[in-house]
Amino acid sequence: MAASKKSTKNAPAPATDARGEGDELHQRAGNGHPVLTTNQGIPVGDNQNSLRATPRGPTLLEDFILREKITHFDHERIPERIVHARGSAAHGYFELTRSLGEYTRARILSEVGVRTPLFTRFSTVAGGAGSVDTPRDVRGFAVKFYTKEGNWDLVGNNIPVFFIQDAIKFPDLIHAVKMEPDRAFPQAASAHDTFWDFVSLMPESMHMIMWAMSDRTIPRSLRTIEGFGIHSFRLINDAGESTFVKFHWRPKLGIQSTVWDEAVKLQSADNDFHRRDLFEAITAGDFPEWELAVQLFTEEQAEAFPFDHLDSTKIIPESL
């Protein structure tokens, strides 16, 4: 293939000081240089000159090396995710302290003392990937466990309820919380006109709003937030019996938040306040730690609740 890209008039170029058709210097395989290949591993002598019908063009689309290089380039940017774009993550492990073997056949929840590697990503919801760490916003708490039985994702937020009862309203909720369309601000923040417009028309959001406007959404550190799976999940044991479960992460450092004045000052001093805090704590060996706690209940207990536990705007009070 490489040969077809060279003019047949020219003698093969030496391994060093090779010059291309435009007299440009370029490296060649040999003399310690690894072979350049396409993505499929086909050796290529040159990815600086496209195939042309004549020395001055036109460029030929049958040059699949050109097409591969441009296609690769066009796909180098993955569109930014619309929610939770800004996040910070860390590796760690999960170690079970009390077996739930009575309720589940999942080994990760029944083998006491076994360490399961995991990766946890904390995030804000509304801001873009380059936005600041400190606005008033819900924090995501997403954990991926690399268990012996496959990967298990436990995706949560730092608030035990959610804004809506029906996922079909999610695009409307997010459009409302994003920047206002005519001015592209405020970015990353949740208290503004289009958002108030949405929640004022959505009574089911009221519970979440009470949490979202509390100091939970201006945390002092990612190390001091709680995490909630929010939804009810099912555990199934060896006998095939099912138990409902809600998952709660509790920070060993306790929940700690800022007050608004502090959050504003921190934001003006350091856009990466939470990311830096997490990185510096881990670098110093001051590893953050959470306890994974569960609320377990049967279908009969669920039936007796005066609310629907499958409604994510409701919590199961710990007093129950």
Catalytic residues: 84, 157
Write out the two tokens for 179: 């920047």
**Among 142, 176, 189, 209, which residue sits at the site for ligand HEM (rule: CB under 6 A)?**
142
Stretch that binds ligand HEM, among 57-65, 76-84, 213-221, 284-292 (CB under 6 A): 76-84
Any contact of residue 81 with ligand HEM (CB under 6 A)? Answer: yes
Q: How far is CA 102 from CA 25, 111, 167, in A?
A: 70, 12, 33
Site for ligand HEM in 211-230 (CB under 6 A): 230
> What binding mask, one character per residue, do residues 237-276 give for ligand HEM by CB under 6 A, x or -?
----------------------------------------
Nearer CB in complex with ligand HEM: 45/140: 140
Distance CA 232, CA 305 (A): 14
Burial per residue of 287-313, b for 16 or more beta-carbon CB atoms within 10 angstroms, e otherwise: ebebebebbebeeeeeeeeeeebeebb
Nearer CB in complex with ligand HEM: 116/312: 312
**Among 94, 103, 145, 162, which residue sits at the site for ligand HEM (rule: CB under 6 A)?**
162
**Among 18, 44, 83, 302, which residue sits at the site for ligand HEM (rule: CB under 6 A)?**
83
Nearer CB in complex with ligand HEM: 104/312: 312
Site for ligand HEM in 167-196 (CB under 6 A): 167, 170
Nearest to 288 by CA among 279, 296, 297: 279
Smallest gap from Cβ 208 to ligand HEM, in A, equals 10
Residue nearest to ligand HEM (CB): 140
Smallest gap from Cβ 91 to ligand HEM, in A, equals 14
Any idea which residue has 């005519």 for tokens? Answer: 182
Nearer CB in complex with ligand HEM: 35/129: 129
Stretch that binds ligand HEM, among 19-27, 47-55, 82-90, 104-112 (CB under 6 A): 82-90
Stretch that binds ligand HEM, among 14-22, 69-77, 83-91, 128-136 (CB under 6 A): 83-91
**Among 104, 312, 313, 314, which residue sits at the site for ligand HEM (rule: CB under 6 A)?**
312
Any contact of residue 84 with ligand HEM (CB under 6 A)? Answer: yes
Q: Which residues bind ligand HEM (CB under 6 A)?
A: 81-84, 87, 121, 123, 140, 142, 155-157, 162, 167, 170, 230, 312
